[in-house]
Structures are given as structure tokens and as C-alpha cells.
């Protein structure tokens, strides 16, 4: 194999591919990428056997086709540190050479033909959506997934198709985010796929794909796998097995207290009030009174914090506690300058709404 690469294009590809490569694995070949030079392009694949990336680079000159399997971290580091605009990559018999104007690296790889198959994308998809829309939806849902949980179903994001809308829902058991995004094309109702749960890792990869506003994402479901194609990248992933919680049941619909608040103002107030909280008192109190909202934090060994905000409110006063980080997380992803905050009793979850397409349910905490 002999290929001349545009270094920037190769570096961008490896930046995405290495995010799939496992740092620890009993199968050393999974710490490698598979590079296959075709007639006019080079295909690079990476997988951890759960999620895979199939990446096509066209900014190349292929002098000799072939295949090599090389350690991903070593190759990525060499390309990243290079000062050249173009790099020559030559490979034969499990050895890969990377040459620049003043540099020459030799990496020992593995024999071709041993790498697991990473699916490509053939034919039509089940749904189409603009990359920008999907990435906006990922930003407003992925943060609420469970990081570590024995309930695997909440380690991913629920995809639910309703007409020409895609609902993305995520929860970790203490909060829930639901975002609605427009589809470019949706299947007929009788052919629409049922609800699926896409792993958080695959969703995170989609968010890293270089965004061109004109790019469309095409999605295909095959057995227990999802294939997602965008421009020159195909992401494949096993779906999460299990039943997602019946999330509609926990979205409050009977709250009698409603506030319209400044997104930036509340974000600043929550950040400041949380400066004086401790591991033991990891919460802030919201005290709602006539025309005033008070955010307060307390760390017994350190001190107290209080931030006042004028509001338009004439209802019954109340106090409620929340995890400040869970408030900060949602306020960072709200796109509107204001949001609606609906509350019931102090032991009932709060409901945050931004526009007609985003809502967030947050369980309160007992501050004692």
C-alpha cells in the first residue's frame, strides 16, 4: 500500500476514530485501526465490537492499493504532531512507514484480514434528518443519560418517531430530558420502526461529526443494530436492550405555580449559590415569594450564600431544594433567553420548558 494523505484530513478522521478505540481490551487488535486503500479513496475503520466507525477519506493520492492494521494511538500521535501538509504512508507485510519532509516513522502493525468487519451503508435508509437538527437534539438530551447503571436501558437515548418528528428522551432516574426535532423524511406509519434505545457512546460520536449545515443524516435499522450515515462517515452501533421507563407518567401536568425566568440570570444565580455547598449539603434551596426568588446554599463548615432575583409572581410562597449541577446542566443547553419553570409541592418534581420542543423534569432533594 502506498498513499499520500492531506495531513489535516487524516488528523480529523483519526480524531473521531480514536474515540471508539478502547484503551483496555483483552483483544489487542481492537486498539488498532484498519486502513484500506481503494482506487481513489482510503477507508479507515475502528470498533470496540459495540460501536464502529467506517470513515472514507477522499483527500488522498493512492499509488498502490492495500490494507494495514496499525495501533490507533501511535498513528494519531504521529499525524497530530507532524508539521507537514502532506504525509506519505507506505505499508507492507505488517509494517507501516509514515514519511514527512524531515521525519520517518515505522510502526509495526498486524496482519491484514484479521480485523472485525465494520459495516458500511448500502441502499436507502429508514429516516433522514439534518445533521444540525440531530446534533442540537443530542445536546439537549445526552447529558441526562445514566453514566453507570445496572439498568442498561437508561444508559442510552430513546428514539421515538411521531409523524415527522423525532423525540429524543434521556433519564438517569433523577432527571429526564425530552427534545423534539424535525425529520427531513419519515417512514409511513405502518413502516415506522418501533421505539429504540441508542447507546450514549454512539450519540456522543454523532455529536462530534464535523457539522456542515447542508449535511443530512440517513438512518437504517437492521436487526438489533443502527447504521447512521453522514457525508463520508458511517457509525454503526448495537442497540440497547431492555425497556425504557414510561417517561410520560413522570412528566407533571398539574402544577399550580409557574414562573417565567431569564436563562442566563438563573444560570448565574445557581452557580453563585452553589459556591458554598458541601458534599454533605449538596443542594441549593429555591425560596419563592411575592415578586422575589431567592437561591441559597449552605456549607456548615464554610458559610452561606444567598442570591436574590426579582420575579413576577403573586402565588403562594414555597421552598424547594435541587441538585445545583442538574440545574446548571439544563440551563447550559436551553437555547431561548427565557424558560418556564413549573412547580407543585416541595416534594414533587420541577418541570422546565423551553419553547414547544424541549422539557426537563427534575426531582427535588430534601435539604433537611
pLDDT at 15 over 80: yes
> Is the predicted pLDDT of residue 148 greater than 80, yes or no?
no
d(CA 332, CA 329): 6
For residue 160, pLDDT over 90 is answered with yes
Closest listed residue to residue 295, CA positions, set 262, 322, 313, 329: 322
Please report the domains of the chain, with CATH numbers, ordered by start residue. 2-108 (3.10.150.10), 127-247 (3.10.150.10), 251-362 (3.10.150.10)
Whole-number pLDDT of residue 90 = 96
- What is the predicted pLDDT for the residue at 333? 97
* Residue keyed to cell 401536568: 253
Distance between CA atoms of residues 191 and 47, nearest Å: 30
Span 340-360, average pLDDT: 96
Question: Which range, of 260-264, 274-278, 323-327, averages the lowest pLDDT?
Answer: 274-278
pLDDT above 80 (res 153): no
What pLDDT is recorded for position 146?
86
CA atoms lying within 13 Å on the CB side of residue 303:
5
What is the residue whose three cell numbers read 449538596?
282
Q: Is the dihedral of CA 196, 197, 202, 207 positive or negative?
A: positive
Write the CB contacts of 239 (distance below 8 Å, at least 6 apart in sequence): 156, 196, 197, 198, 199, 224, 225, 226
Could you read off the pLDDT of 33-72 as tens digits, one per residue? Answer: 999 999 999 999 999 999 999 999 999 999 999 999 999 9
Residue 187 has pLDDT above 90, yes or no: no
Residue 154 has a pLDDT of 82
Cα(221)–Cα(119) distance, rounded to whole angstroms? 12
Of 140-149, 164-173, 349-358, the range with the lowest mean pLDDT is 140-149
Confidence at residue 151, expressed as pLDDT on a 0 to 100 scale: 66
| pLDDT value, residue 53 | 97
pLDDT tens sequence across 85-134: 999 999 998 899 999 999 999 999 988 888 999 999 988 888 999 999 99
Per-residue pLDDT, 150 = 63
Alpha helices (runs of H) in 99-144, residue ranges in sequence order: 131-139
The pLDDT tens digits for 269-303 are 999 999 988 777 689 999 999 999 999 998 888 89
In this model, does residue 190 exceed pLDDT 90? Answer: no
Tell me the residue ranges of DSSP E strands in 50-190: 51-57, 60-64, 66-71, 86-92, 95-99, 104-108, 127-130, 156-162, 165-171, 175-182
The dihedral sign for the CA sequence 218, 220, 226, 231: negative
Instruction: Give the Å distances, CA to CA, from 231 to 11, 58, 90, 136, 250.
Output: 17, 11, 27, 18, 38
Report the percentage of the chain scoring pLDDT > 90: 77
Pairing state of beta strands 318-322 and 338-343? unpaired
Which residues have a Cβ under 8 Å from the Cβ of 285 and sit 6 or more positions away? 294, 295, 296, 297, 319, 320, 321, 367
Amino acid at each position: 500500500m502506498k498513499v499520500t494523505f492531506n495531513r489535516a484530513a487524516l488528523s480529523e478522521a483519526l480524531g473521531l476514530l480514536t474515540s471508539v478505540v478502547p484503551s483496555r481490551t483483552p483483544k489487542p487488535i481492537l486498539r488498532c485501526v484498519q486502513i484500506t486503500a481503494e482506487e481513489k479513496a482510503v477507508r479507515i475503520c475502528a470498533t470496540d465490537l459495540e460501536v464502529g466507525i467506517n470513515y472514507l477519506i477522499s483527500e488522498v493520492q493512492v499509488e498502490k492499493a492495500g490494507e494495514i492494521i496499525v495501533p490507533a494511538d501511535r498513528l494519531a500521535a504521529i499525524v497530530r504532531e507532524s508539521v507537514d501538509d502532506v504525509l506519505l504512508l507506505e505499508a507492507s507485510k505488517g509494517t507501516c512507514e509514515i514519511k514527512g519532509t524531515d521525519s520517518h516513522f515505522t510502526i509495526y502493525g498486524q496482519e491484514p484480514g484479521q480485523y472485525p468487519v465494520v459495516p458500511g451503508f448500502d441502499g436507502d435508509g429508514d429516516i433522514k434528518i439534518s445533521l444540525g437538527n440531530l446534533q442540537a437534539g443530542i445536546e439537549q438530551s445526552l447529558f441526562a443519560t445514566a453514566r453507570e447503571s445496572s439498568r442498561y436501558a437508561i444508559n442510552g437515548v430513546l428514539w421515538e418517531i411521531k409523524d415527522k418528528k423525532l423525540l429524543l428522551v434521556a433519564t438517569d432516574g433523577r432527571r429526564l430530558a425530552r427534545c423534539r426535532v424535525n425529520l427531513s423524511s419519515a417512514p409511513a406509519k405502518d413502516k415506522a420502526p418501533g421505539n429504540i434505545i441508542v447507546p450514549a457512546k454512539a450519540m456522543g460520536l454523532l455529536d462530534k461529526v464535523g457539522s456542515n449545515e447542508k449535511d443530512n443524516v440517513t438512518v437504517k435499522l437492521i436487526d438489533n443494530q443502527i447504521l447512521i450515515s453522514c457525508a463520508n462517515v458511517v457509525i454503526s452501533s448495537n442497540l440497547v436492550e431492555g425497556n425504557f421507563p414510561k417517561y410520560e407518567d413522570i412528566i407533571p401536568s398539574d402544577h399550580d405555580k409557574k414562573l417565567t425566568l431569564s436563562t442566563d440570570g438563573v444560570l448565574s444565580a445557581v452557580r453563585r449559590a452553589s459556591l458554598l455547598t458541601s458534599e454533605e449539603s449538596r443542594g441549593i434551596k429555591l425560596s419563592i415569594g411575592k415578586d422575589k426568588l431567592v437561591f441559597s446554599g449552605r456549607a456548615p463548615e464554610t458559610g452561606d450564600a444567598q442570591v436574590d432575583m426579582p420575579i413576577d409572581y403573586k402565588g403562594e410562597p414555597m421552598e424547594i431544594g435541587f441538585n445545583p449541577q442538574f440545574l446548571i446542566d439544563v440551563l447550559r443547553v436551553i437555547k431561548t433567553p427565557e424558560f418556564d419553570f413549573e412547580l407543585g409541592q416541595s416534594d414533587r418534581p420541577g418541570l422546565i420548558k423551553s419553547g414547544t420542543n424541549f422539557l426537563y423534569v427534575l426531582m427535588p432533594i430534601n435539604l433537611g
